[in-house]
Amino acid sequence: MAAPGQNLAVVVHRAGDLRLENRPIPEPGPNEVLLRMHSVGICGSDVHYWQHGRIGDFVVKDPMVLGHEASGTVIKVGSGVTHLKPGDRVAIEPGVPRETDEFCKTGRYNLSPTIFFCATPPDDGNLCRYYKHSASYCYKLPDNVTFEEGALIEPLSVGIHACKRAGVTLGSKVFVCGAGPIGLVNVIVAKMMGAATVVVTDLSASRLQKAKEVGADFIIQVKNESPQEVASKVESLLGCMPEITVECTGVQACIQAGIYATRSGGTLVLVGLGPEMVTVPIVNAAVREVDIRGIFRYCNTWPVAIALLASKRINVKPLVTHRFPLEKALEAFEATKRGEGVKVMLKCDPTDHNP
């Protein structure tokens, strides 16, 4: 165990104010475990809290530890924990219901209004050396699944949840808007779930190449086409309109393109978060019976993701393009802000920087 004061953490104080500072090493409660953190990915939301101090109604009012895409090793267990022991390698599900409300009872605990969620104000995240978490939301990693794969289960879960909500199935033709990390996991999951063809749009040529690498059949680099023109390009590449569109940008023009592109009777899933108010051709969707669905994070996805990774049915390793030690977290955040690579991974254990 480290001496007190050696729990280095990445803390946002207010918009534009990101610091590395020492925090006390926490003591796990009866149903919690203390983890030595290993790999933590930087998410767009982490960068957003650093740059803007808020996302929608979630405002940074007190210093908050960032990070929610994470894995680590159990080093201490609470008195009530029976399924984990020191030395177990685990992936962390960052959303933990605080009470068993109606949403938990129906299996949709992600919608619980009082849920604890890592690095969403006022809840601290896990971008630190030592972190305690509910044992029920720590999932043991098989020996053939790396810590980085364990950390990537969090963004991967967004893809699993979105593709399930979209109804991707054998032979589906899918249009994914955006080739950032979330767009890419949706490509991976859609192909795994049986999609026959997936077309991806983005502004960035390098991100589109990464989309091809992880399984996209067609890519379209968008320049200044209208939403209708983008939809037309998607249709001509696929040979038909896609039954399913997964919108991962939150950009108004992309949502519009998603509606125009989706075939009548199909489904558009909104994953990307943009401004609260957007103008969309809602009547076009309505008269063609295009279902528009939202998603909020994920639920019940960690066991599925672990099974897929352990069986090698999917490969998320290409998503990690940059690695930094925790001491260089500020550099890592700057690189992420500049849009370099795809997924930047921070290594929190000074004795082990392996994937």
If DSSP states are collapsed to H, E and C, what string results for 167-225? CCCCCCEEEEECCCHHHHHHHHHHHHCCCCEEEEEECCHHHHHHHHHCCCCEEEECCCC
List the single range of 53-57, 141-145, 223-227 with lowest mean pLDDT: 53-57
Average pLDDT, the chain: 97
In this structure, is residue 329 part of a structural domain? yes
In this structure, is residue 130 part of a structural domain? yes
Residue that terminates a domain, selected from 294, 321, 338: 294
Identify the pLDDT of residue 14: 97
In this structure, is residue 354 part of a structural domain? no
Identify the pLDDT of residue 5: 52
- Number of compact structural domains in the chain: 2
For residues 292-308, average pLDDT: 98
Residue 26 has pLDDT above 50, yes or no: yes
Shared domain for 335 and 244, answered yes or no, is no
- Are 111 and 117 in contact by the 8 Å Cβ rule? The answer is no
In this structure, is residue 226 part of a structural domain? yes
Which CATH number does the domain housing residue 321 bear? Answer: 3.90.180.10
List Cβ neighbours of 178 (8 Å cut-off, separation of 6 or more). Answer: 200, 201, 202, 247, 248, 249, 254, 272
Shared domain for 229 and 110, answered yes or no, is no
In this structure, is residue 305 part of a structural domain? no
Amino acid at 87: G
In this structure, is residue 299 part of a structural domain? no
Identify the pLDDT of residue 293: 98
Identify the pLDDT of residue 1: 43
Domain containing 110 equals: 7-144+312-347
Q: How far apart, in whole angstroms, are the C-alpha atoms of residue 179 and residue 185?
A: 9
List Cβ neighbours of 157 (8 Å cut-off, separation of 6 or more). Answer: 93, 297, 298, 301, 302, 305
Residue 3 has pLDDT above 90, yes or no: no
Shared domain for 223 and 263, answered yes or no, is yes
Residues in a beta bridge with 14: 17
In this structure, is residue 150 part of a structural domain? no
Which CATH number does the domain housing residue 167 bear? Answer: 3.40.50.720
- Are 247 and 255 in contact by the 8 Å Cβ rule? The answer is yes
Identify the pLDDT of residue 56: 87
Shared domain for 174 and 277, answered yes or no, is yes
Q: Which two tokens stand for residue 67?
A: 């990070």
Identify the pLDDT of residue 85: 98
In this structure, is residue 121 part of a structural domain? yes
Q: What are 158-210's pLDDT values in tens digits?
A: 999 999 999 999 999 999 999 999 999 999 999 999 999 999 999 999 999 99
Peptide bond into 122 cis (omega under 30): yes
Closest CA to 188 of 170, 218, 171, 163: 163
Given pLDDT bands bounded at 50, 70 and 90, which one contains residue 2?
Answer: very low
Rg of the chain's alpha carbons, rounded to an integer?
A: 20
Predicted TM-score (pTM) of the model is 0.96
